[in-house]
Amino acid sequence: MQDTALKWAWRRFVISAVLTVLLLYISLAPLLGWLPGGGLPAAVHPVGGPIYFALAQLVLFAAIAGLSARVLVEGARKIIARRPGWYSLLTVGVAAAALYSLVSVIWVLIGDSGAAYHLYFNGAGAALVLILLGESLEARMEQKSGLAIAKLAGAEQTFTVLRDGRERQMYALELQAKDSVIVWSGERIPADAVVLEGECAVDESALTGASLPVDKKPGDAVYAPSLCINTRLVIRVDKVGEDTKLAEYIRLADQAKAAPAAPGNGTQTDKEDKLQGESVWIGIADALSFWFVLIFAAASVVAGIAAIIITRGNFAFGLRVLALVLISALPCAMGIAAPAAILTGMGRGGEKGFIIRNAAVPETARRVDVVALDKTGTITEGTPVVTDVVPIPGGDPAALLALAASALRSSGHPFARAVVGRARQKKLVPKEAERHVIHPGGGAEANIGSRLYHAGTRSLLAEKKIIIPQQLDLEAYRLENEGKMPLFLAEDGKPLGVLAIADAIKASSAQAVKKLITMGLDVVMLTGDDSKVAATVAAKVGISEVMAELTPEQKAEYVKRLQAQGKVVAMIGNAANDAPAIAQADIGVAIDASAPATHYAEIAITSPDPLTLPAALSFARATIRNIKQNLWIAFAFGVICAAFASGLASLTGGPLLSPALLVAGILLCAGGVLVNSVRLAVR
């Protein structure tokens, strides 16, 4: 559908551009003497064939106007509704040029060949073709952002299915209830299911927001699109398609998208309209154009009456001045004022790590006053790391870490990988274990030299009847209260210390939050994770307001309450459980491109760096400023042309607004708009 719209937009523009070039050549070549004899056959030359000269321009302009009919009809509709806007201003200018030129054509047909030099079809045609160029650029922009989003979402994965005693490769959409599916390490679980075989750590952060993996064993439930981390599982499909928990979240997001916005927040009433609706630049231009329509209409009447008085009753000259002032209302460069700025901004945004879905986003993003952040994967890395190494009194932290890495080296559990990874960062070399036993959900035991080591949870040590000293136990409880997972290490039944595992905070998260606050924005954390974990992370990055242990529905409801208070809310998340809140928010931002969340987001952040968020919001503000500057450049063109059209220039010996002068003004104005837009690229 988007490809069809883009092709039609460009086809209209190309055809109109070719017709406009021909129109400009026919109308201006003989007037400016660019080529010997005007470069035109005598039959269509204003001297030898004024009738065909005039009719050729009329026919070419009619074709261009036909291709631009939607814009002109919309402008007329708004005038009739007494809500004149940008399209209305364009329609007034085009109509004035067309009617004035049509009268001149009639005079040519009657026999007044001099009227052939007063045709303004060229200026009106040039204005319309620039409008079509702007629409084409905008269609191209939306297609580029859509392709980028689709690329980020990734291709659909196939899974190994055991059906009728055979292994088959099938897509998730082809699965049926009671199918047995093999899910390998690193694969996402394709449906809601029950574990039949295997024990595995599963990352459920996409659904629950929990920062740490959950151990699963036979009989446990697993949900799409959770990630199987360390070993393979065989699962029995329980629910597929619309019955899964993921589908439930998507339904919630769809409901939030379609629900009317809260009164008072100044947003559109339908999120789908915001994603696909009328461009923001039209809204800005409408606000300005309402007054300019009135100003140009009043100025044309005043100028016409003044011209009649000054020329002592020359009504023909007065009517000409009146028409020319209306023609000068042609805001030609307004058609590319915003698309040029936004297309430039899109290219620059891609370099900075974010994609804007459409032209309506910058204006809404500019008005955001509350930023709601998910925790897991947004503020934090979403992967476990070792945060603390606490030996017993007199113990060596480095030795404790090295021994724990040695005991856990053969385990594929993410906690074990975190310990081994931290040891390698410290340039510690784990020892080889002669014997290694995995205790699923508990930890591991290993024989290293003549010693027996147990590394794992409190429950593992209790199972092995290893008593934890009170001081070490208190340290473990302190770590738990900070939202961390304690892992103990014991040597020959005697605890040596405890290590803490937690989801690492991204290096730039605190700086990003500080920048958002500096921009005058309120920042709140919305997470489904444990309240202790959330409070600890929030304190470290500088967020004072925290809402934890929220379901996806509660996240969306919290955003709705903020909107009911008149707030404009941006919601930033990276997973399916964030989709309802992202859909509800005025500006949804998907970080690191999770497919379900990205579908409902207006901005997709391609970089996991949190600093990209304040950069995107800041860039939206700069883009709107650039658009407004471009619009004022376009209106300034109208004012300058109006000075010539009103006869002010002719009073000091200058010309009236001639067809050549009108076209020159249009081209200069378009050039000024493009040059101003390019400034965004070097920001």
Q: Label the pairing between strands 603-605 and 587-591.
A: parallel
Q: How far is CA 300 from CA 121, 139, 322, 323, 361, in A?
A: 19, 35, 5, 7, 37
Backbone angles phi, psi at 478, to 5 degrees: -60, -45
Alpha helices in 313-372 (DSSP H): 315-327, 334-352, 361-366
Q: Does the annotation count 374 as an active-site position?
A: yes
Q: Are 296 and 89 in contact (CB under 8 A)?
A: yes
Alpha helices in 359-508 (DSSP H): 361-366, 397-408, 414-425, 458-463, 470-481
d(CA 214, CA 209): 12
Nearest residue to 225 (alpha-carbon basis) of 614, 588, 577: 577
Residue recorded with tokens 């979402």: 153
Environment class of residue 556 by beta-carbon count within 10 Å: exposed (0-12), middle (13-18) or buried (19+)? buried
CA angle at 626 for the pair 625 and 630, rounded to the nearest 5°: 120
Q: Are 638 and 330 in contact (CB under 8 A)?
A: yes
State the virtual CA torsion across 150, 154, 156, 161 in degrees, nearest 10. -160
Q: Which of 179, 286, 374, 503 is catalytic?
A: 374
Q: Are 584 and 258 in contact (CB under 8 A)?
A: no
d(CA 122, CA 659): 7
Residue 312 burial (CB count, 10 A): 6
Q: Are 383 and 455 in contact (CB under 8 A)?
A: no
d(CA 280, CA 363): 6
> If DSSP states are collapsed to H, E and C, what string results for 399-442?
HHHHHHHHHHCCCCCHHHHHHHHHHHHCCCCCCCCCEEEEECCC
Element (H, E) at 167: strand 166-171
Q: What's the gap between Cα 579 and its chain centre?
A: 14
Q: Which residues are catalytic?
A: 374
